[in-house]
Amino acid sequence: MTAAIRIRDGVVRGFIAKVFQRLGVAQEDAWVAADVLVRADLRGVESHGVNNLWQYVNPLRAGTLNPTPDIKVLRSSPVLASMDGDGGMGLVVGTKAMEMCIARAQEYGLAAVTVRRSRHFGMASYYSLMCLDHDMIGCSMTNNSGVGVIPTFGREPMLSTNPISVVAPTNHEPPFEMDFATSVAAMSKIGLAMATGGRIPVGWALDSQGQPTDDPQAAWDARSLLPLGGTRELGSHKGYGLAVLVDILTGVLGGGMYGNSFLRNPPEDDKLRVSSSHFFAALRVDVLQPIEEFKARMDDMLRALKESEKAEGQDRIYTHGEIEFEAEQERLRDGIPYHPALVTYLRELASEFDIRLQL
Amino acid sequence: MTAAIRIRDGVVRGFIAKVFQRLGVAQEDAWVAADVLVRADLRGVESHGVNNLWQYVNPLRAGTLNPTPDIKVLRSSPVLASMDGDGGMGLVVGTKAMEMCIARAQEYGLAAVTVRRSRHFGMASYYSLMCLDHDMIGCSMTNNSGVGVIPTFGREPMLSTNPISVVAPTNHEPPFEMDFATSVAAMSKIGLAMATGGRIPVGWALDSQGQPTDDPQAAWDARSLLPLGGTRELGSHKGYGLAVLVDILTGVLGGGMYGNSFLRNPPEDDKLRVSSSHFFAALRVDVLQPIEEFKARMDDMLRALKESEKAEGQDRIYTHGEIEFEAEQERLRDGIPYHPALVTYLRELASEFDIRLQL
């Protein structure tokens, strides 16, 4: 293993913001987008952090990702709205949508916003985590124009990994932060196994013959991840249902793509065909309960889970978001460890765009 | 197998409503409660239907379930409210809560209601299905004072099976109706295996030694169901997260019991200690999209899933709620098949309460 290079989050954030600005993104949006990526790295979710920068840089460079989207509200009631992302970065579009959602929840107690014609929005929990500053429970979901998950009893990729994130505030315990693909494993886990030369557990994916495989390359090529549960006997219809639910609340309700619709009925509008749809919700806790009471109850529940009896060979029970919270504390203090290959990429960008990168 | 006895849904509903009335339940509430149970049977969800009647009759008879609850709104914003069920039947309390939720969503586009001090509310999707009549997407969740699910890396039952149901309207296709326990399997499936003398799949539950078991009796006694996903490697932290999420939105937010709090800190109030908490949400589709357009998109997505390539040895891919929809069509026409032992129980109730039961 090559030693990682530690970089302060502020340094990376500022650098990436400048890269986005050089690519035509407005200053404020560039900082928002950089923050979404760096937050993922801070929380140890490298699969959705700066490792993914090229996924935004390349299409911005190629002109297939809109650096200056005209983000608009399409339809709206006091607490429910649909927005159009105009083919902009999901990182920017998602943040604006959740900001509106929070503002409406602040006023009415609860709100939801759907978004169409957006793109990859990074770590789903970035948006639900925004709700913590407002003592709200937050929810975030996304689909994308890509299929990699098969339905129960099927063998054709029909759904994207459709993640769900929900966050709830606490007092002393790390906030509850759930964020997961509705497939057994995320596609990024397959990619990681490919990169490290490992095998994947049987039960994650099928190969192109529709057979269970432990070969990550075969799984990657077939793009046939199994829905959470794995087999019908062990509840895969539940994971399959959650995946469809995410598609309903994002693409179907939001007016975007859903399932494999981009393959079956490809629209002429590029911004729609190659798009993600999102769903956000925010709930103001203190409408129902004094916030300190709620947080104390959250602490009590999470602590009881952690202190409950451990399985043989286990010495710790985790609550959701605990590992990420601890990573964030550590990395805010000591910097984010980056792979030298990624740092080389950042240096290349620094050179290309004439931006100072002080490591 | 003893031949089932078919009874028309109207006959059962009317009979059960009278049983509840004899036990002190007001006429309107008695009919609502009967409808929740019979709807489950119509949809083939026998585990939550009239088979469960004794679970309501016995405590009503013993005076430990309130036949005339004073159901109240505790706190409220325009679109978010908490209610108190006053120890009444969840069947009645849940229906009233969802009715209020729908009324508020009608006005504002979106609403959510939490409920504390309720009891077992039967089939979770009864309430989300109510939203179909209003062209809304509906959501329903519940916890209960009982533990039967262990957290990932744990071996102590800490959570109830915490089901989630979401329903969305369609046009030609059966409505999307998701309704499942957040454990790999529901406790009722263990009970069914015990009753029929079968084994359960390894991966559903642990025995009292914390070891995987295929013995339903051992699983029943240990009350250690595994969260959806089964093992950490296959994503059990996701099922565990969903279970905690349900407890947050029902018990923690609603001011009721959560996790194993009824064991750790038993409150003096019986109506609270032995209670379920619920969460309901309703979303008015036509705020964002003409309802016919939404339904056509739903049909399109669900049909594509059904028509996609089948796994080897499978000839059908189901959408969620399809099996239940077909059962309901058939049973509305031909009557509901009941086990003779259950019919004997109904006859005993008929005799005890002097109610005519015309089969």
d(CA A82, CA B287): 9
List the end-to-end C-alpha distance of chain A, in Å, as a whole number.
21
CA angle, residues A242, A87, A96, in degrees to nearest 5: 70
pTM of the model: 0.98
User: Which region holds residue A321: left if phi is over 0, alpha if psi is between -120 and 50, else beta?
Assistant: left
Name the residue with tokens 């469960």: B52
**Long-range contacts (CB closer than 8 Å, 24 or more residues apart) made by A338-344:** A338/A4, A338/A5, A338/A6, A338/A7, A338/A12, A338/A41, A338/A50, A339/A2, A339/A4, A339/A5, A339/A51, A340/A2, A340/A3, A340/A4, A340/A5, A342/A50, A342/A51, A343/A5, A343/A7
Residue A106 φ then ψ, to 5°: -60, -40
Asked if A264's CB is within 8 angstroms of B154's CB, the reply is: no
- Please compute the mean of the pLDDT values over residues A255-270 and round it to a whole number: 97
Asked if B108's CB is within 8 angstroms of A79's CB, the reply is: yes
What is the per-residue pLDDT for A192? 87
Residue A2 pLDDT > 80:
no
The residues, ordered by sequence, that sit 6+ positions from A112 with a Cβ below 8 Å of its Cβ are A79, A80, A81, A101, A279, A280, A281, A282, B110, B283
Residue B302: band (very low, low, confident or very high) from pLDDT cuts 50, 70, 90: very high
Eight-class DSSP state of A87: T
Asked if B311's CB is within 8 angstroms of A110's CB, the reply is: no
Chain B residues closer than 8 Å to A234 by CB: 184, 201, 203-204, 230, 234
d(CA A167, CA A177): 4
As for the ipTM of the complex, it is 0.98
Tokens at B2, concatenated: 């003893």
Residue range B5-184+226-299+340-353 forms a domain whose CATH class is alpha beta
Asked if A247's CB is within 8 angstroms of B301's CB, the reply is: yes
Q: Please identify among residues 103-132 of chain B the ones whose CB lies closer than 8 Å to any CB of chain A.
A: 108-112, 114
What is the per-residue pLDDT for B333? 98
* Residue B199 burial (C-beta neighbours within 10 Å; 0-12, 13-18, 19+): exposed
CB contact A303 to B (< 8 Å): no
Asked if A245's CB is within 8 angstroms of B80's CB, the reply is: no
Eight-class DSSP state of A122: S
What is the per-residue pLDDT for A195? 87
CB distance B152 to B237 below 8 Å: yes
What is the per-residue pLDDT for A359? 83
Cross-chain CB nearest to B108 (options A77, A210, A255): A77
Helix or strand holding residue B346 (H, E): helix B340-353
CB distance B176 to B320 below 8 Å: yes
DSSP codes joined into one string, B236-269: HHHHHHHHHHHHIIIIIHHTS--TTHHHHS--S-
More confident residue, B196 or A170: A170
Task: Report pLDDT digits (tens) over B254-267.
Answer: 999 999 999 999 99
Tokens at A151, concatenated: 């339905």
Domain spans, chain A = 5-184+226-286+336-353
CB distance B326 to B174 below 8 Å: yes
- Please compute the mean of the pLDDT values over residues A146-172 and round it to a whole number: 97
How far CA B306 is from CA of A68, B230, B327, in Å, comes to 39, 27, 18
Asked if A300's CB is within 8 angstroms of B155's CB, the reply is: no
CB contact B282 to A (< 8 Å): no
CA angle, residues B100, B104, B105, in degrees to nearest 5: 115
DSSP codes joined into one string, B302-314: HHHHHHSPBPTT-
Residue B1 pLDDT > 80:
no
Closest residue of chain B to A264, computed from CA coordinates: B304
User: Which region holds residue A136: left if phi is over 0, alpha if psi is between -120 and 50, else beta?
Assistant: beta
Q: Whats the size of chain B, residue-wise?
A: 359
- Please compute the mean of the pLDDT values over residues A50-76 and round it to a whole number: 97
**What mean pLDDT, rounded, does chain A reach?**
97
What is the per-residue pLDDT for B145? 87
**Identity at A340, one-letter amino acid code:** P
Domain A5-184+226-286+336-353, what fold?
Ribosomal Protein S8; Chain: A, domain 1 (3.30.1370)
d(CA A80, CA A110): 9
What is the per-residue pLDDT for B209? 92
Tokens at B124, concatenated: 């979770």
Asked if A294's CB is within 8 angstroms of B176's CB, the reply is: no
Asked if A301's CB is within 8 angstroms of B252's CB, the reply is: yes
- Please compute the mean of the pLDDT values over residues A29-41 and round it to a whole number: 98
d(CA A203, CA B231): 11
d(CA A91, CA A112): 18
Tokens at A87, concatenated: 């083919």
Task: Report pLDDT digits (tens) over A288-329.
Answer: 999 999 999 999 999 999 999 999 999 999 999 999 999 999
Asked if A309's CB is within 8 angstroms of B284's CB, the reply is: no
Question: Chain A: nearest CA to B53, how far in angstroms?
Answer: 27
Chain A residues closer than 8 Å to B75 by CB: 287-289
Tokens at B196, concatenated: 């029929």
**What mean pLDDT, rounded, does chain B reach?**
97
More confident residue, B164 or A197: B164
**Long-range contacts (CB closer than 8 Å, 24 or more residues apart) made by B307-315:** B308/A151, B308/A154, B308/A156, B308/A158, B309/A154, B309/A155, B309/A156, B310/A153, B310/A154, B310/A155, B311/A150, B311/A153, B311/A154, B311/A155, B311/A210, B312/A155, B312/A210, B314/A153, B314/A154
Chain A residues closer than 8 Å to B239 by CB: 228
Task: Report pLDDT digits (tens) over B36-58.
Answer: 999 999 999 999 999 999 999 99
Helix or strand holding residue A136 (H, E): strand A136-142
Probe site for chain A from B145, B153, B295, B322 (most A CB atoms < 10 A)? B153
Residue A133 pLDDT > 70:
yes
How far CA A261 is from CA of A147, A252, A257, B292, B300, in Å, comes to 10, 10, 6, 18, 9
- Please compute the mean of the pLDDT values over residues B62-81 and round it to a whole number: 97
What is the per-residue pLDDT for A89? 98
Task: Report pLDDT digits (tens) over B314-335.
Answer: 999 999 999 999 999 999 999 9
Cross-chain CB nearest to B312 (options A109, A204, A210): A210
Residue A1: band (very low, low, confident or very high) from pLDDT cuts 50, 70, 90: low
Probe site for chain A from B79, B295, B298 (most A CB atoms < 10 A)? B79
Least Cα distance to A7 among A349, A324, A346 occurs for: A346
Q: What percent of chain B has pLDDT over 90?
A: 96
Residue A43: band (very low, low, confident or very high) from pLDDT cuts 50, 70, 90: very high
How far CA B259 is from CA of A214, A331, B32, B86, B219, in Å, comes to 36, 32, 29, 20, 19
- Please compute the mean of the pLDDT values over residues B329-348 and round it to a whole number: 97
Residue B358: band (very low, low, confident or very high) from pLDDT cuts 50, 70, 90: confident
Cross-chain CB nearest to B154 (options A156, A240, A311): A311
- Please compute the mean of the pLDDT values over residues A81-87 and round it to a whole number: 98
Asked if B283's CB is within 8 angstroms of A112's CB, the reply is: yes
Asked if A176's CB is within 8 angstroms of B248's CB, the reply is: yes
Asked if A110's CB is within 8 angstroms of B289's CB, the reply is: no
Question: Taking the CA of residue B323 as centre, how many other CA atoms within 13 Å lie in the half-sphere pointing to its CB?
Answer: 11
d(CA B84, CA B89): 12
CB distance B121 to B127 below 8 Å: yes
